[in-house]
Structure 1
Amino acid sequence: MRLRNIPGSREAIAESHWCIQEPEQYKGNWQQVFCSGNPIHIEIGMGKGQFLMTLAKQNPGINYIGIEKYSSVLLRALQKMEEEPLENIRFIRMEAETICDIFQENEIAKIYLNFSDPWPKDRHAKRRLTSRQFFARYNSILAKEGNVEFKTDNRELFDFSLEEVKEAGWKLDGITRDLHRDESMNAGNVMTEYEERFSSMGNSIYKLIASR
C-alpha cells in the first residue's frame, strides 16, 4: 500500500519533543532520555502509536520507544502525544535494519512486532522483521531474560516466523493461531489499530512469544 505523503511531516517530526533526533548518540545511555532506570521496551513498526501509548499509560514504570520509518504515519502518533503527553514514551524515525547502531547489548527488555510488513516475495524474506537476520539483531540488543512478541493476521508470515525462530536458535514460549479465543494468551492483550480492524472483519489473529 502506498502511503500518502503529508507536506511538512518531516519538519514537524524534527521539531517534536517526543521524537529523538540523532538517536545514535544515546546508544548505551537511553536512560538519560527518560531520566530513570526503568526497563525499556521497543515496538518496531509502531504505526500511529495506539498500542504503545496504551501500554505507556498502563505501565508508568516502563519506558517505551516506538520505531517507525514512515514520516506521515509517525506524525499521527506525535499529534496524539500533543493531546495527551506521556513522559515514558519517545519515538524514532528510522529503518529497522539499523537498530544495532541505536541500542547497546542488553539495553532492551522487550521487543514488540505488530502486523509487520509481510514482504511477500521470497527474495525479500530477509527484510521481514521475523527473519533470522532480524533475530540476530534482536539477540544483540535484548537483555538476557528479554523476549520478542509478534502479532499478525497473515498466516503465511506467521508460519514463516515460526520456522525462523527455530532457525535462529531461539525458542517459542507461547503460540496461538486465534489470539482472541485463547484465554491465556489474550490475557492483558492490547490491540493495535490494525488488530481492531482485522478482528472486526472476522480475521484470526496469530501471536508468538520467543526468547533465547
Structure 2
Amino acid sequence: MRLRNKPWAKDKLAAYPQYVIANPEECKGKWHTIFNNQQPIYIEVGTGKGQFITGMAKAHPSINFIGIELQESVIVSALDLAIEADISNLKLMNVKAEGLLNFFEEGEVDRVYLNFSDPWPKKRHAKRRLTFRTFLEMYENILVDQGEIHFKTDNRGLFESSLMSFSDYGMLLTYVSLDLHKSDFKGNIMTEYEEKFSKLGHPIYRSESRFKTK
C-alpha cells in the first residue's frame, strides 16, 4: 500500500519536543534523566501509527516506552495518540532502526518489541528483517543482561524464519503462540495491523525470546 505523504508532518513533530526526541544521539546513556525517573525502558522498533506503544504506556505507567519509526508521515499519527492520551512515560523517535547503538548505551533498555515488521520475503533481502542476526546483535548490546524480545506478526514465513534466527543466535524461546487470539495470553494490546488481519481471520503469531547471560 502506498504511503500518503504528509508534508506538514515534520513541522508537527518538531512542535512537540515533550514527545518527539529531535536529537536522540544526545540522549544516549541519559534516558532515565530524559524521563526523570528510574523506571524500566521498553522500546518498540517499527512503531507505526502508535496504537500499541501508546496503549502499553497507558496500561503500564511504571514503565517508560520509546517508539521508533522511520516514516514521518506514519509516526505523526503516533504523536496524535500520545497528545490525546496525555502521558509522560512515552517518547517517540523518527530514526532508522540501524542506528540503535547511537541512541542507547549498553544495557540501557529492558525490553524490545517487534510488531508486524516488514517480512522482506525474498531471500536476498533477509538481512533487512528486524530479526536478522545483525539486528539481534544490536538489541543484545543495548538490552540489560538476559533482555527480552517480544515479537508479533501475521506472516507465517517471517515468524518461522525469526524463530530460527533467535535459536541460531543462542537465545532462549520462553513463549511461542501460533494463534495468539485463541490462546490464554493475558494483557494483549493490539497494533493497527493486528486488528486488521485478525478481522480477516488471520492467526497472529507471537514469541518471547531471551538473550543469554552476558
Q: Under TM normalisation by the shorter chain, which class is it?
A: over 0.9
Asked if 1:105 is matched to 2:106, the reply is yes
Asked if 1:2 is matched to 2:2, the reply is yes
1:80-114 Cα distance to aligned partner (Å, 9 max, x none): 22222110000000010110110011100011000
User: Does the aligned pair in 2 maintain the 1:109–1:145 contact within 8 Å?
Assistant: no
Unpaired stretches in structure 1, ≥5 consecutive residues: none
Q: Which residue of 1 aligns with 2:39?
A: 38
Work out the CA distance in 2 between the residues paired with 1:169 and 1:158.
17
Work out the CA distance in 1 between the residues paired with 2:204 and 2:198.
7
Query: Helix, strand or coil for the counterpart of 1:129?
Result: coil
Identity %: 46
Unpaired stretches in structure 2, ≥5 consecutive residues: none
Per the TM alignment, residue 187 of structure 1 is displaced from its structure 2 partner at its CA by 1.3
Asked if 1:196 is matched to 2:195, the reply is yes
Query: Helix, strand or coil for the counterpart of 1:51?
Result: helix
Taking structure 2 as the reference length, the TM-score comes to: 0.95
Asked if 1:209 is matched to 2:208, the reply is yes
User: Does the aligned pair in 1 maintain the 2:49–2:75 contact within 8 Å?
Assistant: yes
Query: Helix, strand or coil for the counterpart of 1:210?
Result: strand
Per the TM alignment, residue 15 of structure 1 is displaced from its structure 2 partner at its CA by 2.2
Instruction: Let me know the Cα RMSD of the aligned residues.
Output: 1.0
Query: Helix, strand or coil for the counterpart of 1:148?
Result: strand
Per the TM alignment, residue 193 of structure 1 is displaced from its structure 2 partner at its CA by 1.0
User: Does the aligned pair in 2 maintain the 1:42–1:110 contact within 8 Å?
Assistant: yes
Per the TM alignment, residue 149 of structure 1 is displaced from its structure 2 partner at its CA by 0.3
- AA at the equivalent of 1:139: E
1:165-197 Cα distance to aligned partner (Å, 9 max, x none): 0121211111111111111xx211111111111
1:5-41 Cα distance to aligned partner (Å, 9 max, x none): 1011112112222100110111011011110010100
1:32-85 Cα distance to aligned partner (Å, 9 max, x none): 111001010000101111111111111111000000000000111112222221
Q: Which residue of 1 aligns with 2:15?
A: 15
Taking structure 1 as the reference length, the TM-score comes to: 0.96
- AA at the equivalent of 2:134: Q
How do residues 85-96 of structure 1 correspond to structure 2 at under 5 angstroms?
Answer: 85-96=86-97
Q: Aligned residue pairs: how many?
A: 210
Work out the CA distance in 2 between the residues paired with 1:39 and 1:152.
25
Q: Which residue of 2 aligns with 1:159?
A: 160
Work out the CA distance in 1 between the residues paired with 2:164 and 2:124.
17
- AA at the equivalent of 1:48: K
